[in-house]
């Protein structure tokens, strides 16, 4: 069990190497443990206020209870005056979606089955431990090593413990991947993660984002209307079993969606090699999808809104490059719309 070291010995113990990535909350570096020479990742999360620090402490506490090969493991933590450093196992293979679009990778449905199965295994473990991920998206699925088809789920910054006997509502997520009950500020459950699994699967197979609209407001409306189909030519090479799998996840009523355990038993995830088409799927659209998301990430601002109702009535310019990241607003009900630039609304959990 990792406990936070209040002494600032991080710089004495670790040598910082290159930057690995950046997110909403932190910068992640590759680091070397000076004593053992072991490579690890260090996520530096800026937090000054005590509430922000408590949020990171909660994330560390949560990660301590997540010990599973499909989930990123925490190795240490250091609390400093202005930030907290989380030392994590190094996942060196990069993002899954980046791997499958590489020149030397021929993506087949069989590969997709292998990836989706692992995602479901990771989530099943989390759900069995009464924890919701709540931020499943392509950027949070990494390959264990270069040239490895094993994946791990990362980023538990929005994850939380869940009591099925209590009502939990949240108001955050990334529009393309969030479940309708999040948008409607209705009670969430384990299957709120499973909606995101359905979206990720749809994108992985075709490069198309099922609910993507010209604006965030349109995307959200598409989600709440359950407005998606398999009509695009990209589905010509996709088996009926795969479509059935997605259909069983993109169900508006969360009680009717497959659980992670049910997914693992689903016929698509149990398809044997010989019965699955080995057709190489085109990744042209997936390449465009990734480019677009990268562009969005480097966009100028992360805009936060406190109430989704306002979103559906306010129109984001169609060409808006920034992804929306809704922020946490568990009970009590959402407060009036804060200023989009208000930093307080940017960090719900920290």
Site residues for ligand ATP per CB under 6 A: 20-26, 28, 41, 43, 72, 88-91, 139-140, 154-155, 157
- 135 part of the active site: yes
Q: Choosing from 83, 111, 135, 155, which is the catalytic residue?
A: 135
Could you tell me which of 66, 69, 58 has the C-alpha nearest to residue 127?
66
Q: Closer to ligand ATP at the Cβ: 22 or 49? A: 22
Nearest residue to ligand ATP on Cβ basis: 23
Q: Closer to ligand ATP at the Cβ: 157 or 175? A: 157
Please give the angle made by the CA atoms of 131, 136 and 141, to the nearest 5 degrees.
110
Q: Closer to ligand ATP at the Cβ: 177 or 245? A: 177
Residue 91 CB, nearest distance to ligand ATP (Å)? 4
Could you tell me which of 211, 170, 215 has the C-alpha nearest to residue 193?
170
Residue 24 CB, nearest distance to ligand ATP (Å)? 3
Encode the chain in three state secondary structure: CCCEECCCCHHHHEEEEEEEEECCCEEEEEEEECCCCCEEEEEEEECCCHHHHHHHHHHHHHHHCCCCCCECCEEEEEECCCEEEEEEECCCCCEHHHHHCCCCCCCEHHHHHHHHHHHHHHHHHHHHCCEECCCCCHHHEEECCCCCCCEEECCCCCCEECCCCCCCCCCCECHHHCCHHHHCCCCCCHHHHHHHHHHHHHHHHHCCCCCCCCCHHHHHHHHHCCCCCCCCHHHHHCCHHHHHHHHHHCCCCHHHCCCHHHHHHCCHHHCCHHHCCCCECCCHHHHHHHHHHHHHHCCCCCECCCCHHHHHHCCCCCCCCCCECECCCCCCCCCCCCCCCCHHHCCCCC
Q: Closer to ligand ATP at the Cβ: 28 or 311? A: 28
Residue 319 CB, nearest distance to ligand ATP (Å)? 22
Q: Closer to ligand ATP at the Cβ: 22 or 265? A: 22
Residue 270 CB, nearest distance to ligand ATP (Å)? 30
Two structure tokens written together for 132: 């919701």
Question: Is 32 annotated as ligand-binding?
Answer: no
Residue 247 CB, nearest distance to ligand ATP (Å)? 28
Q: Closer to ligand ATP at the Cβ: 198 or 323? A: 323
Residue 149 CB, nearest distance to ligand ATP (Å)? 17
> Which residues are known catalytic residues?
135
Which positions make up the binding site for ATP? 43
Binding-site entries: 43
């Amino acid at each position: 069990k990792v406990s936070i070291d209040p002494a600032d010995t991080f710089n004495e113990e670790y040598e910082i190497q290159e930057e690995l990535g950046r997110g909403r909350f932190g910068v992640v570096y590759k680091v070397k443990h000076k004593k053992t020479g072991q490579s690890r990742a260090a996520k530096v999360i800026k937090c000054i206020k005590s509430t922000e620090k408590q949020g990171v402490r909660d994330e560390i506490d949560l990660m301590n209870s997540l010990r599973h090969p499909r989930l990123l493991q925490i190795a240490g933590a250091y609390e400093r005056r202005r930030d907290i450093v989380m030392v994590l196992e190094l996942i060196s293979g990069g993002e899954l979606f980046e791997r499958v679009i590489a020149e030397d990778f021929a993506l087949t449905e069989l590969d997709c089955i292998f990836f989706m199965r692992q995602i479901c295994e990771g989530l099943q473990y989390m759900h069995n431990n009464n924890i919701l991920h709540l931020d499943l998206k392509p950027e949070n699925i990494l390959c264990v090593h270069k040239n490895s088809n094993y994946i791990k789920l990362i980023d538990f910054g929005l994850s939380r413990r869940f009591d099925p006997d209590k009502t939990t509502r949240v108001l955050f997520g990334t529009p393309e991947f969030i479940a309708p009950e999040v948008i409607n500020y209705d009670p969430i459950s384990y299957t709120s993660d499973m909606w995101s699994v359905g979206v990720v699967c749809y994108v992985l197979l075709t490069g198309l984002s099922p609910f993507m609209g010209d604006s965030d407001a349109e995307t959200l409306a598409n989600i709440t209307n359950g407005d998606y189909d398999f009509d695009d030519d990209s589905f010509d090479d996709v088996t009926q079993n795969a479509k059935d799998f997605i259909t069983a996840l993109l169900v508006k009523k969360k009680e009717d969606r497959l659980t992670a355990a049910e997914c693992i038993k689903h016929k698509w995830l149990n398809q044997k090699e010989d019965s699955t088409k080995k057709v190489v799927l085109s990744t042209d659209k997936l390449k465009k999808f990734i480019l677009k998301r990268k562009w969005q990430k480097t966009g100028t601002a992360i805009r936060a809104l406190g109430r989704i109702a306002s979103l559906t009535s306010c129109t984001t310019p169609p060409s808006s490059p920034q992804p929306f990241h809704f922020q946490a607003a568990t009970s009590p009900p959402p407060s009036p719309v804060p200023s989009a630039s208000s930093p307080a609304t940017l960090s719900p959990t920290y």
